[in-house]
Every structure is written in structure tokens, then in C-alpha cells.
């Protein structure tokens, strides 16, 4: 049987370059599955339903919550976002390493529910660079940019609850670092309890204990 996959959460300030980072990781390596969230916000230009998000109504969102079909969900700057449970569980069982690109409240809920989850926080090298990236993206109004900068201030307070920090200065280096972190988790002792038990048994047998 294939070893169960690793669940990894990647969070970071809006504008930290998480989307680009995820895309580069998926393009470069085969064994990752990126969870697609549901959201009640409107698609941005160029976004496609079922690719970046499943775009749903508030009513549909509430129904998913009521039916316990989301691993976690949160409000973020006027809208709701959530992680569908079925897909994530299935991929993990099939041995894929699953990545959730979600914000901080959701990340902490996932960690509570699945304590072995790897939490990585992505940030640009400076606050100035963050603002520059948000403005250059050109998809948001000034008001939304200001709201996202304020949200970044709040999120920064919780950054140190993550297991790992990724500074997204050079995209390539950041992709490799994230890949390395996730792959290193495969060696964790708590994922190999069966092996450890078998080894203990065999050693006792061999040494006649």
C-alpha cells in the first residue's frame, strides 16, 4: 500500500505570491494535489470556476457548512472561503501530498483537527514590497488594497504560530524550499508507526527476548 500523503498548509499575506508559488510547484513536481476551495467572492478577471476556486453563493456555502462538507472555513475581507473535505481526504489516501492555500484562521483550525499538518507561511522580503506587489497586480481597487494591507498587519501577529517561514524573494529558490520541507515530512516517525512496531517485534524475536 502507498504511504499516506502529507497535508501541508501554505498561508501568507495577500500579494505574497502564493498563487505563483503553487503553480510553479505543481508544474515542477507530480506528487502534489492542490485543493480547490469554495468561495463566495466574485471571480477576478481571468479566473475560471473550478480552476482557481469553485465560485458559489452564500446559500450554497451555508449548505456545505451545515452538511459538514468543509474541513475548515473562514471569512476574509467580506467573503467566505472553505476547503472541501472529500477531495482532500481522497488524495491523501491515494498518497498525494495535498496543499491547502488558505488564510491563517483556517490554517490553525486544520492544525487543530490534524496536528501532523505542516504549516508554512510565505512572505515577501518587506512590507514595502508587499504593497508594491498588491498595487502592481492591478486587479484590486485602492479600497481593497488598503483592507488587505490592514489584514496583513493582523496576520503578521500570528505568523509565529506556523512551523516554517518562506521568504518569497526568488521564486525558484522558494519553490525548492517548500518542496524540500514537505518531502522531509515523509520521514517523520509518527507516519511510520507500523514499521517501528514491526522492527521492535523482529528484534525481540531475533535476539530471543
The residue ranges that bind ligand 5GP (CB under 6 A) are 14, 37, 41, 72-74, 76, 81-83, 101-103, 105-106
**Distance from C-alpha of 50 to C-alpha of 138, rounded to nearest angstrom:** 23
Which residue number places its CB atom closest to ligand 5GP?
Answer: 106
Report the residue number, 39 or 177, with the smaller CB distance to ligand 5GP: 39
CB of 80 to ligand 5GP, least distance (A): 9
Grid coordinates standing for 107? 490554517
Give me the least distance between CB of 47 and ligand 5GP, in Å please. 8
Q: How far is the CB of 179 from ligand 5GP (least distance, A)?
A: 19
* Residues 6 or more apart whose Cβ sits within 8 Å of residue 82: 37, 38, 39, 61, 64, 65, 70, 71, 72, 73, 74, 106
Question: What's the grid cell of residue 117?
Answer: 499538518
- Residues forming beta bridges with residue 84, ordered by sequence position: 70
Residues making up the binding site for ATP: 12-19
Query: Considering beta carbons, is residue 82 or 124 the nearer one to ligand 5GP?
Result: 82
> Judged by CB, which is closer to ligand 5GP: 10, or 182?
10
Residues sharing a CB contact under 8 Å with residue 99, sequence separation 6 or more, in sequence order? 8, 9, 10, 22, 25, 32, 33, 34, 35, 182
Contact indicator for 77, 13 with CB cutoff of 8 Å: no
Least distance CB 144 / ligand 5GP (angstroms): 9
Nearest residue (CB) to ligand 5GP, 84 versus 95: 84
Q: Strand order of the sheet with strand 7-12?
A: 32-34, 97-101, 7-12, 118-123, 164-167
Nearer to ligand 5GP by Cβ, of 47 and 93: the residue is: 47
Alpha-carbon gap, residue 197 to 191, rounded angstroms: 12
Query: What is the nearest approach in angstroms of ligand 5GP to the Cβ of residue 177?
Result: 19
Amino acid at each position: 500500500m502507498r504511504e499516506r500523503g502529507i497535508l501541508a498548509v501554505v498561508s501568507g499575506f495577500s500579494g505574497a505570491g502564493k498563487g505563483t508559488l503553487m503553480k510553479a510547484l505543481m508544474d515542477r513536481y507530480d506528487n502534489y494535489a492542490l485543493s480547490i476551495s469554495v468561495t463566495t467572492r466574485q471571480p477576478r478577471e481571468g479566473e475560471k470556476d473550478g480552476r482557481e476556486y469553485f465560485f458559489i453563493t452564500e446559500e450554497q456555502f451555508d449548505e456545505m457548512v451545515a452538511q459538514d462538507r468543509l474541513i475548515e472555513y473562514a471569512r476574509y475581507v467580506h467573503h467566505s472561503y472553505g476547503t472541501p473535505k472529500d477531495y482532500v481526504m481522497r488524495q491523501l489516501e491515494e498518497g498525494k501530498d495535498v496543499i491547502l492555500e488558505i488564510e491563517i484562521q483556517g490554517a490553525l483550525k486544520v492544525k487543530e483537527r490534524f496536528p501532523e499538518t505542516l504549516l508554512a507561511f510565505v512572505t515577501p522580503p518587506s512590507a514595502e514590497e508587499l504593497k508594491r506587489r498588491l498595487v502592481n497586480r492591478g486587479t484590486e481597487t485602492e479600497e481593497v488594497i488598503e483592507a488587505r494591507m490592514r489584514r496583513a498587519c493582523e496576520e503578521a501577529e500570528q505568523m509565529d504560530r506556523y512551523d516554517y517561514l518562506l521568504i518569497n524573494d526568488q521564486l525558484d529558490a522558494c519553490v525548492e524550499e517548500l518542496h524540500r520541507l514537505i518531502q522531509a515530512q515523509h520521514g517523520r516517525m509518527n507516519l511510520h508507526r507500523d514499521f517501528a512496531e514491526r522492527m521492535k517485534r523482529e528484534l525481540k524475536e531475533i535476539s530471543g527476548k
